Chains A and B, each alone.
Chain A
Amino acid sequence: MGLLLSKRLATIRPLAVLPFLSALCVVVGITWLLLLPLDSYSRRTYISENALLPGQASAYFGGSEQNIFSAYRHEAAELANATDAKRVQVLGNIFAAAGLKVGRQKYSYTASGQTYSGENVYAILQAPRGDATEATVLSAPWKNLDDIQNIGGVALVTTLARYLKRWSVWSKDIIFLITSDSLAGPQAWVDAYHDQHTSNPGVESLPLKSGAIQGAIVLDYPSGGNFESIHIAYDGVNGQLPNLDLVNTAGNVALHHFGIRPTLQEMWDHNDSYKDRLRTMLRGMVNQGLGHARGGHSVFVPYHVDAVTVQVHGDGWHNEVSLGRFLESMFRSLNNLLEHFHQSFFFYLLMAQKRFVSIGTYLPSAMLIAVNFTLGAIGLWVDSLGSSPPLPLTTTSTEKSTSHTTAAPIERDLFLPLTTVLVFHFLGILPLTLFNHLPTHLFTRTFSAFLFINLVLPFLLSSTLTSLIPASTRERQLKLIKCFSLLFLGMALSALATLNFSLALGVGVASAVLTFIPVEGNGKVVRGVMYVLLQCLSPGMALVGIACYWGVGMEEVLREASFGWWVSGMWTQIVVWCVWWPAWLCGGVLLAEGLVGWRGVEDVPVEEKKKQ
């Protein structure tokens, strides 16, 4: 049956359809995404876990606690220029005065020649009637992501430590954590908490531990004064997200019980229109795709601890009392939990505080884009063998000799394309190692050199390649190279879509042009245009694009990437340099091949080769 099928395939040539099918997949994939913010394709958010009971308990934070907060705020402001040791000591004394057990931890990370070090201080409130097998975390960094001192946050955490100690309703321990900075500090603490820090000698072990962490909230409140809304950040490292219940509980409690407007993805004004929803969703996807740590909460998520960062914004009439009550209510809800968050979704896209889509609805778009590569690969496979059909289809016994001569080239055919694609993918280790090990001051220069190399490398590689390929089988070999490259890309993106949907989608859309690169024919204009397009959609240019989006220089972007690699365990770079860049390079080589028109090696007669 297989032989019959291939016979039919060889004669019908359905391959003319496949490029259109691929294009259709890409178009449908992107349109799918654009349809999601509509009411008919998205859903209202809801709390899945019955145990949470958000906002059902009154919060009594306020009154004299305000005075205590002002006092602690003064103390924190006075520590602005103090050394790490002094700061940790003062804060430790505050926690100890509240009757909590205190622990300290020094840490130091090196990434690209820069050192990130500091000292964390934390205190454990042991639940008086609980059994210390579970814990929740309330954290505030000393310096937030913008490097501003988080005076209000630290003051509120210390005030809450005193306040919550007086309640006896806790079934889980509460850990109050003040980290040195926003990203490296929490990473060091959570790694040491789970004993995963041993590979890094710069991180100390924790003297005190409690039970398994069920949830964490990180507070960013620099001013300590009035604010208008709170920004809930929920993106974790490598695109992993916390359970939707936690995000919904925070939004729900803030809005309905305390009148604080919650915002997502830095959309300060959101009027629930299609445009705002789409923007929120796309911003969320960019953050998820990049996979870098976005706050203290990001480092908790890979340990299957659901965490969010609460950041105040704007000027309004809410003050520390609202925020304190909000946190008290959140911790009462977390306290009600019986097990890890598990009821609601782990894979979702939030478009507004009240609207989301789950994985079943959005995954097909990334899958379609990945499938378009696989379709291209299948088409190329059949096409490359269709011109010389698999034997022995039309030969008779008298033509045995010719069938044997056509047999040998097929054997060589697969070897060269396969090795080429494999070599390209292994080449990806070079930029990966380069950008992870260079010192920071060399970044900009190296990156510019890299962009230039990207311009000429395809031509260099194509000349090397052509010297290895015999001219007679040139077309088939090139088709097979493209086939294997697309096949691997499709495979990798399909697998990636289950782990980090946005990264798969982003890489897929940017490399969609690879399916349409012409391998046969001589149109140089088309190839020239495609080459320019390909250069604009290269991984290097994508990094430039990110720099523009963030409004920072290339050095900053690469420094973040290096920090993510060494400290947070980010693997986005592997996808970019070892999956996307080689595929891009392959496409560039094929285009360069056609542009320059190498003739290739003269064909040696087969019999002579056999004698060798």
Chain B
Amino acid sequence: MDKRCISVILGGMLLRLLLFTAFPSLPTLLGNRVEISTPVTSFKRLQEGLFLYTHGVSPYDGGVYHQAPLLLAFFSMMPSSAMATNLIYIIADIQSTLALIDIARSGWSTKSRLHESKRKEMAWPAWGVAAAFLFNPFTIAACIGRPTVVFTNTVILTAIAKAIQGRPTPATLALALSSYLSLYPCLLLAPLVLLSYDFLLHCHSTTLLPTNFSLSKFATTQVTIYFTAVACLLGLSYLITGNSWEFLASTYGVHLFLPDLTPNVGLWWYFFIEMFDPFREFFLCVFQLHLLIYAPGLTIRLRKQPLFVCITMLGILSIFKSYPSIGDTALYLSLLPLYRHIIPLMRYSFVVTSAILYATLLGPAFYHLWIYAGSGNANFFYAITLVWSLSVTLVVADALFAVLREEWEVEGNGREGKPVVQI
């Protein structure tokens, strides 16, 4: 790791330390914002669950705490001072940065086993990607506000980094942990397996690999490891919460059945507030299936670039999952600089950036008008969340277009510069 990376990491760390110490009320202020904290990631709820856990009451009584039991075990081990907690979050961010640096240094985004971009030179160096992550205002807000999605992000990035380094088992274990922490990363299993497989085939000579090394065998092994890991984690949780399975309904049940309709930057809460009861289950199924359908399509179509599939799935999750927050969007936007070489091919970058900035400014303003000033209503805030979701969707779609276009260019000769019309 070169000096620039280290200085970027140090800079990021110092900035976070400065914000934590110079503005002691900032973590609570940001932690109370609905864009940063959701019912399944809120730090205040974690504190509540931790109190109940350490005092012998089931943390899932009372319907406040909806996060994984392992987090309780972890935080009950840690010293309970504010500084210690802040340091934990900073360390999580640093680990995410290290994973990102590994991913960027491997150059897999521009040159993978099955695809090589013609614009390799344009890719950013590792320190650029790290800086884009550490100094992204959304990431900083997510770190200061201390939602637990920071840990999920760290684990996802670690998983991808391990896959790119040719260590499939740790990658799968990390993915298992991330899906244990928050349900939806399970959709990344297929692209991650393909990513590991590609790397193994590409970078190891055939003598290092076992005979009959095929995709189906590899995939079966990895999937088995994944489910075993998840089962073990669930079993450990069963032991932690006093030998009961009630945590399942309070954690994964909340993601799936949406009992808590606190506003957030997503699309689900408003819809389900208005929903008549007889149709609720139907629409819950539709929304959850909607998330599911992207995974196979993207994996098959973009078989040659499984890293991009992972990134796009993360983007789609950050828009359409049941309790999104800007921490999820921060993860996606931080992974996008890995594909900086295709950004010039994107068509709507200016419009989308402006829209995201507008939504970031107007969202809190309208929330204030709705909740505190009492002169607006929920529709104002919901309109801004629609604008936000639309702009992130545009980013995802545009990046996808750019990558597909690039693939098309690579496949043929003399295709650069030709105007393309998307039908």
Which A residues lie at the B interface, using CB under 8 A? Answer: 1-7, 199, 240, 302, 304, 340, 342, 346-347, 374, 378, 381, 390-397, 400, 403-404, 407-408, 410-411, 487-488, 491-492, 494-496, 498-499
Contact = CB atoms under 8 A, between A and B. Distances in A.
Given A378-B350, A404-B121, 18 more contacts: A1-B422, A4-B419, A6-B347, A302-B373, A304-B372, A304-B373, A346-B374, A395-B416, A397-B414, A407-B122, A487-B354, A488-B357, A491-B357, A491-B361, A495-B358, A495-B362, A495-B365, A496-B365
Contacts of A393: 417
B243 interface: no
B83 to A, nearest CB: 21
Interface residues of B, number: 30
- Nearest first, the 9 closest Cβ-Cβ pairs linking A and B are A2-B347, A346-B375, A392-B417, A495-B361, A304-B374, A392-B416, A495-B362, A495-B365, A395-B417
B420 A3 contact: yes
B37 to A, nearest CB: 21
Interface of B: 25, 119, 121-122, 344, 346-348, 350, 354, 357-358, 361-362, 365-366, 368-369, 372-375, 413-414, 416-417, 419-422
B321 to A, nearest CB: 27
A499 B417 CA distance: 46
Contacts of B362: 494-495, 498
Given A410-B344, A487-B354, A494-B358, A4 B122 contact: no
B371 to A, nearest CB: 10
Given A4-B419, A411-B122, A240 B374 contact: no
Nearest to A345: B375
A154 to B, nearest CB: 31
B366 to A, nearest CB: 7
Which of A240, A392, A488, A492 is packed against the most chain B CB atoms within 10 Å?
A392
Given A491-B354, A495-B361, A499-B369, A1 B374 contact: no
Contact of B369 (A5, A394, A408, A498): A498
A381 B361 contact: no
A2 B361 contact: no
Contacts of A346: 373-375
B414 A396 contact: yes
Contact of B416 (A304, A342, A397): A397
Contacts of A496: 365
A365 B121 CA distance: 48
A391 B343 CA distance: 10
A1 B354 CA distance: 20
Contact of A396 (B122, B417, B420, B421): B417
Nearest to B401: A2
A381 B121 CA distance: 25
A404 B122 CA distance: 8
Nearest to B366: A498
Nearest to A393: B417
Contacts of B422: 1
Nearest to A391: B344
A424 B250 CA distance: 48
A4 B365 contact: no
A102 to B, nearest CB: 31
A346 B373 CA distance: 9
A393 B416 CA distance: 8
A397 B413 contact: yes
A378 B362 CA distance: 20
Contacts of B119: 407
Contacts of B420: 3
Contacts of B414: 396-397
Contact of A1 (B121, B413, B421): B421
6 contacts: A1-B347, A4-B419, A346-B373, A494-B361, A495-B358, A499-B368
A245 B368 CA distance: 22
Contact of B350 (A7, A302, A381): A381
A518 B239 CA distance: 70
Contacts of A492: 361
Contacts of B421: 1, 4
Contacts of A378: 350
Contacts of A396: 414, 416-417
A583 to B, nearest CB: 15
Q: Among B25, B375, B420, which residue has the most Cβ atoms of chain A within 10 A?
A: B375
A279 B420 CA distance: 58
A391 B369 CA distance: 44
Nearest to B372: A304
Nearest to A400: B416
A393 B373 CA distance: 51
A411 B419 CA distance: 22
A411 B362 CA distance: 29
A3 B344 contact: no
B44 to A, nearest CB: 18
Contacts of B365: 495-496, 498-499
A342 B377 CA distance: 11
A393 B419 CA distance: 8
Contacts of B25: 199
- Please indicate which of the listed interface residues A302, A393, A404, A498 has the most CB atoms of chain B within 10 Å of its own CB: A498
A514 B311 CA distance: 40
B344 A407 contact: yes
B318 to A, nearest CB: 22
A367 to B, nearest CB: 12
Given A346-B375, A397-B414, A495-B358, A3 B350 contact: no
Nearest to A241: B375
Contacts of B373: 240, 302, 304, 346
Nearest to A378: B350
Contacts of B357: 487-488, 491
Contacts of B369: 498-499
Contacts of B354: 374, 487, 491
Contacts of B366: 498
Nearest to A497: B365
A7 B420 CA distance: 12
B416 A2 contact: no
B99 to A, nearest CB: 24
Nearest to B348: A2
A390 B417 contact: no
Contacts of A410: 344
Nearest to B416: A392
Nearest to A392: B417
B347 A3 contact: yes
A378 B349 CA distance: 12
B60 to A, nearest CB: 31
A1 B350 CA distance: 15
A6 B121 CA distance: 24
A499 B358 CA distance: 14
B158 to A, nearest CB: 29
Nearest to B415: A397
Contacts of A1: 347, 421-422
Contact of A347 (B121, B122, B375): B375
